[in-house]
């Protein structure tokens, strides 16, 4: 039996990328006779194709709606079940809720001095085209990748061959690195060795966040300048 249906352009979807978070987007292209995939564009601008046999896993319906015949069957089974949930399941729910609570990221003393300020910027200062802050999960991901770039360790990825490392032995800095050029280099590197399936959070987003933070920092008056203003008042 067919369970996926045929979704329309504009249908909202949500997909979780392990280690990077959950992203919302919408269907922007429909399957054809030659290409049985839906095109999905996410809110951060990235896009991908999802097979028509899998798209139902990510479709978001209005509250109370049922996605598929399989889900309808599961819902009916739950409604027919009269046995109350055991106490263990209740404890599990409390544990999950507690573990999902955002945790404030801590500054790594081995990193550059501005890293702690960048963390605060990511989580608390609206930035980028969307004018939004980063979630704790995404801020942690950016922090981890930026720290590797700044240390000179470079970035590795399970989808690349052994020994392939981006920016190995190059200490990336806010002051001396052309971040636009680095972003273009990262795109070319992924095109050669394999694209990040984590939706850009491996290289492209961290470098973009570094540039946004640099622009934010450069727009703020320095401490010395503020002191001179105060002295001349």
Neighbours of 111 (CB within 10 A): 17
State the DSSP code for 4. Answer: S
CB 48 within 8 A of CB 1: no
Q: Which parts of the chain sit beneath pLDDT 50?
A: 1-4, 63-66, 68, 82, 90, 92-109, 225-226, 228-233
DSSP bridge partners of 47: 41
Burial-class residue 227 by CB neighbours within 10 Å (0-12, 13-18, 19+): exposed
- The reported pTM is 0.53
3-state secondary structure of 91: helix
**What pLDDT, on the 0 to 100 scale, is given for residue 80?**
56
**What pLDDT, on the 0 to 100 scale, is given for residue 66?**
46
How far is the C-alpha of 178 from the C-alpha of 175, rounded, in Å? Answer: 8
Residue whose token pair is 């001396």: 176
- pLDDT tens for 120-163 read 999 999 998 888 898 888 888 898 999 999 999 999 998 899 99
Structure tokens at 182: 């680095």
**What pLDDT, on the 0 to 100 scale, is given for residue 229?**
46
DSSP helix, strand, coil percent of the chain (3-state; round to 5):
40, 15, 45
CB 30 within 8 A of CB 44: no
State the DSSP code for 182. Answer: H
**What pLDDT, on the 0 to 100 scale, is given for residue 64?**
45
């Amino acid at each position: 039996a067919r369970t996926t249906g045929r979704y329309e352009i504009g249908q909202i979807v949500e997909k979780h990328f392990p280690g990077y978070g959950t992203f919302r987007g919408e269907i922007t292209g429909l399957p054809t006779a030659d290409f049985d995939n839906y095109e999905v564009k996410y809110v951060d601008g990235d896009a991908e194709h999802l097979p028509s046999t899998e798209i139902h896993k990510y479709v978001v319906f209005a509250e109370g709606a049922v996605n598929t015949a399989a889900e309808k069957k599961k819902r009916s089974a739950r409604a027919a079940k009269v046995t109350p949930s055991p106490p263990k399941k209740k404890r599990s729910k409390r544990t999950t809720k507690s573990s999902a609570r955002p945790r404030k990221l801590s500054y790594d003393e081995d990193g550059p001095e501005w890293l702690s300020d960048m963390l605060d910027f990511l989580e608390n200062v609206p930035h980028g085209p969307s004018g939004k802050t980063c979630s704790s999960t995404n801020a942690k991901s950016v922090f981890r990748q930026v720290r590797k770039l700044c240390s000179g360790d470079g970035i590795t990825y399970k989808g690349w061959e052994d020994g392939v490392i981006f920016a190995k032995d190059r200490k990336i800095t806010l002051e001396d690195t052309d971040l636009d050029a680095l972003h273009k280099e990262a795109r070319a590197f992924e095109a050669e060795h394999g694209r990040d399936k984590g939706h850009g959070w491996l290289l492209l987003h961290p470098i973009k966040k570094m540039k946004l933070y640099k622009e934010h920092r450069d727009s703020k008056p320095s401490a010395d300048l503020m002191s001179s203003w105060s002295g001349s008042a």
